[in-house]
């Protein structure tokens, strides 16, 4: 089967944290609209790879190209703007601001992009609806269940219509039912919007939602899975 046009390409990424080397020459390609799972044992460099690809950290060596632009050439300000407008991120926890309601959390990226408060809240409400958590719009993250909070976080990551969503163990703290709801919501919305997803997980049942799987071992890609 033919692979989609790559939207994000990384080659030869090397990154060390102090004395431990997290990435030793990892190369990876994410196609437009593709859902790619990155799996591997703990400490294999999965999160560091995501951080490099999303322009959150700069690799010590190697290159990341997004849409023809080399991320290492961009200043922090442009990277931040890129993350805000063209990328979305979901972590295991911590991405929602604890003091804001679900609705305001989802509206935040729109506010940052210059949308007015009323318009931002209206669109945020629609996205909460899509992820089935509209009823929780006025709750703060601490008042929601883990699955609801993650679905609100997905809404926040997708509300700006990004081209790539980075998800680092988005279901890591959830039971299997909540995990299923979160993953189904993510996959459906991403397919509908044509958003590419880089999904980091250690759970094969979560990785099975992806089109393709890449395994990391000791900071490098171990084996390419079969294209679906």
| Residues in contact with another protein by the rule CB under 8 A | 17, 47, 51, 54, 56-57, 77, 80-85, 87-89, 91, 93-95, 97-101, 104, 108-109, 111-112, 116-117, 140, 142, 156-157, 168, 183-184, 187-188, 204-205, 207-211, 213, 223, 225-226, 228
133 or 212: CB nearest another protein? 212
Nearer to another protein, 67 or 99 (CB): 99
Give least dist CB 47 to another protein, A: 6
CB 139 → another protein: shortest distance, Å?
A: 13
Rounded least distance, CB 205 to another protein, Å: 5
In whole angstroms, how close is the CB of 68 to another protein at the nearest point? 20
Of 146, 191, 188, whose CA–CA distance to 171 is shortest?
A: 146
Contact 79, 73 (CB under 8 A): no
Choice between 9 and 179, CB closer to another protein: 179
Distances (CA, A) of 150 to 92, 203, 217: 8, 17, 28
Q: Cα–Cα distance between 110 and 108 in angstroms, integer?
A: 5
- Residue ranges in the chain assigned as alpha helix (H): 46-53, 76-85, 102-112, 117-130, 146-158, 176-193, 204-207
Q: How far is residue 65's CA from residue 72's CA, in Å, rounded to a whole number? A: 8
Contact 48, 216 (CB under 8 A): no
Minimum CB distance to another protein, residue 92 (Å): 8
* Nearer CB in complex with another protein: 83/137: 83
């Amino acid at each position: 089967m033919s692979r989609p046009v790559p939207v994000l390409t990384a080659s030869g990424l090397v990154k060390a944290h102090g004395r431990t080397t997290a990435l030793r020459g990892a190369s990876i390609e994410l196609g437009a609209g593709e859902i790619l799972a990155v799996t591997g044992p703990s400490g294999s460099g999965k999160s560091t790879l995501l951080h490099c690809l999303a322009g959150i950290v700069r690799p010590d060596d190697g290159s990341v190209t997004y849409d023809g632009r080399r991320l290492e050439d961009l200043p922090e300000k442009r990277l931040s703007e890129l993350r805000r407008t063209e990328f979305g991120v979901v972590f295991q926890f911590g991405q929602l601001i604890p003091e804001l309601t679900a609705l305001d959390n989802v509206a935040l990226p729109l506010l940052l992009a210059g949308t007015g408060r009323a318009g931002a809240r209206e669109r945020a409400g629609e996205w909460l609806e899509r992820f089935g958590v509209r009823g929780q719009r006025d709750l703060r993250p601490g008042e929601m269940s883990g699955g609801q909070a993650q679905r609100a976080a997905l809404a926040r990551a997708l509300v700006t219509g990004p081209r790539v969503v980075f998800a680092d163990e988005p279901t890591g703290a959830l039971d299997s039912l909540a995990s299923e709801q979160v993953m189904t919501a993510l996959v459906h919305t991403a397919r509908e919007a044509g958003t590419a997803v880089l999904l980091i997980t250690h759970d094969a049942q979560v990785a099975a939602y992806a089109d393709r799987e890449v395994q990391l071992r000791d900071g490098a890609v171990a084996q390419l899975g079969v294209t679906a």
